[in-house]
Amino acid sequence: MEKAKPGWMTAGSGGAAARSRPFASGGRPSSRGRSGAGTGGRAKWAEYTALASVPLVMVLGNSMIVPILPDLERQMGISGIQSSLVITLFSLAAGLFIPVAGYLSDRFTRKAVILPSLAVFGAAGLLAGFAVIWNSYPLLIAARALQGLGAAGTAPITMALIGDMYRDGAESEALGLIEASNGTGKVLSPILGTLLALIAWQAPFFAFPAFCALALAAMAFMIREPESGRRPKLSVYLRHIREVFRSKGRWLVPAFLAGSTGLFNLFGVLFFLSDALEKPPLSVTGVAKGGVLAIPLFGLVVTSYATGRYIKNNGRRMRALMNTGLALQAAAFAAAIPLSGNMPLLVALLTLSSVGTGLVLPCLNTLITGAVDRSHRGMITSLYSSPRFFGVAFGPPAFGWLEGLSRGVLFGAVTGLAAAALALVFFLVKPPELAGDVR
């Protein structure tokens, strides 16, 4: 039998008995839930590739549209607030529906949620493309909300699936890769969206369903999900979730908020840069603008993957990296207050803040994914992902509104937000066993 996860990585609902054995819900450990040591390198990376494709397409579905928002405003005759709602409503719909998707993945299987969600995600993207061709803003908004419902069952459930499939260093490595894939999507999205817009400004909407189809095929044929074990009744399930929050909520909730803050700042920065680069005197557009937007995101990608490989479920490392990353974010935003008029220095500082985000998110992912047993993991990871989506949703309009006051106000506000997240993590995100190494 495989070795159980440490106490902070098991269910809070089963008391001492649950902490003494893996999969306290009654399911037996599968041969697929493994440390990775006995897995062939080629097979492991094939699985990693399939898993990473899901957050990649989720990000493409949102971020690939950011570079064409000015075109959307001009061609459809809508305001900046209306164009930002194309991003915001997608994320709001996803954030609201994610807990439902999490429960369904615990009640049935992860793939039974992920595969239909990818299909809805791609089909709604196609509908959004026709909406812009027909110049129908209401249909576009409806299609984007439907896409958000599809997105709810993709990357958050994939995170839970990784927790089911891997253990120890392989789990943190896979979760780091997922965050890196998320960042890679953000790196590629501005460039890809800009290149596709050279063909036709509506082209990004129509290219997206093809990416969804590839991810769906990869998940269907390359991932074999472990057995799901016993499924409790809804009333018992909800009672167990309440017990998890009674026992672990003191650090889980601040961890959720820290993850949301990171995505709020990241997407707000993307929106801010996209808008600032196009305005005179810079007037940077096209592929050049996409390349500039990719710079801070590249820092996020490299740092996320390296962090996932380094932490290996080591609690002291996670705590140190989370605090360092959030301090780096706060320092970078604070330095941007007097330097906001110097675009090269500003891009460098925003890249530094993205590096800080890359230190934080893989650690949070590993802590939260391992906080409960398998039968409740879908819900907990979904509840973590939901505020992350809200962060994505509110980041662009908040940054736009604050910049309207002044750049000093904008960067002063996000400095305070990063500092608040640092305080939450420093004082509260300390599961009991985190005082020692978690392996």
- Domains of the chain listed by start with CATH number: 39-435 (1.20.1250.20)
Asked whether residue 439 carries a pLDDT value surpassing 50, the answer given is: no
122 confidence band (pLDDT: 50, 70, 90): very high
Q: Which residue has the higher pLDDT, 8 or 343?
A: 343
Task: Please tell me the predicted confidence (pLDDT) of residue 311.
Answer: 85
Report the alpha-carbon distance of residue 375 to residue 24 in Å, rounded: 8
Report the alpha-carbon distance of residue 154 to residue 212 in Å, rounded: 11
* ∠ Cα 13 18 24 (to 5°): 85
Lowest mean pLDDT segment, chosen from 24-28, 276-280, 327-331, 429-433: 24-28
Q: Which residues contact 398 (CB under 8 A, 6 or more apart)?
A: 264, 268
* Residue 263 contacts residue 201 (beta carbons within 8 Å): no
230 confidence band (pLDDT: 50, 70, 90): low
Asked whether residue 289 carries a pLDDT value surpassing 50, the answer given is: yes
Task: Please tell me the predicted confidence (pLDDT) of residue 2.
Answer: 39
Q: Which residue has the higher pLDDT, 396 or 261?
A: 261
* Mean pLDDT score of the chain: 82
Percent with pLDDT over 70 in the chain: 87
Asked whether residue 1 carries a pLDDT value surpassing 70, the answer given is: no
413 confidence band (pLDDT: 50, 70, 90): very high
230's tokens: 């016993």
Task: Please tell me the predicted confidence (pLDDT) of residue 229.
Answer: 64
Please give the C-alpha separations between residue 232 and each of 107, 108, 248, 313, in angstroms, as whole numbers. 8, 11, 21, 29
* Residue 163 contacts residue 110 (beta carbons within 8 Å): no
Mean pLDDT, range 137-153, rounded to an integer: 92
Lowest mean pLDDT segment, chosen from 225-229, 245-249, 319-323: 225-229
Report the alpha-carbon distance of residue 202 to residue 423 in Å, rounded: 43
Lowest mean pLDDT segment, chosen from 18-32, 184-198, 286-300, 362-376: 18-32
332 confidence band (pLDDT: 50, 70, 90): very high
Task: Please tell me the predicted confidence (pLDDT) of residue 383.
Answer: 87
Asked whether residue 12 carries a pLDDT value surpassing 60, the answer given is: no
7 confidence band (pLDDT: 50, 70, 90): very low
Q: Which residue has the higher pLDDT, 368 or 67?
A: 368
Asked whether residue 25 carries a pLDDT value surpassing 50, the answer given is: no
Whether the pTM exceeds 0.95: the reply is no
Task: Please tell me the predicted confidence (pLDDT) of residue 400.
Answer: 85
Task: Please tell me the predicted confidence (pLDDT) of residue 156.
Answer: 84
232 confidence band (pLDDT: 50, 70, 90): low
Selection from 299, 297, 290 nearest residue 266 by Cα? 297
14 confidence band (pLDDT: 50, 70, 90): very low
Lowest mean pLDDT segment, chosen from 17-26, 34-43, 74-83, 110-119: 17-26
Report the alpha-carbon distance of residue 291 to residue 396 in Å, rounded: 19
Mean pLDDT, range 156-185, rounded to an integer: 83
427 confidence band (pLDDT: 50, 70, 90): very high
Asked whether residue 412 carries a pLDDT value surpassing 60, the answer given is: yes
When computed from its CA atoms, the radius of gyration of the chain, rounded to whole angstroms, is 21
Q: Which residue has the higher pLDDT, 29 or 198?
A: 198
Asked whether residue 437 carries a pLDDT value surpassing 70, the answer given is: no
Asked whether residue 32 carries a pLDDT value surpassing 80, the answer given is: no
Task: Please tell me the predicted confidence (pLDDT) of residue 432.
Answer: 54
Task: Please tell me the predicted confidence (pLDDT) of residue 419.
Answer: 96
Asked whether residue 107 carries a pLDDT value surpassing 90, the answer given is: no
Percent with pLDDT over 90 in the chain: 29
Axis crossing angle, helix 69-76 with helix 110-133, rounded to the nearest 10: 40
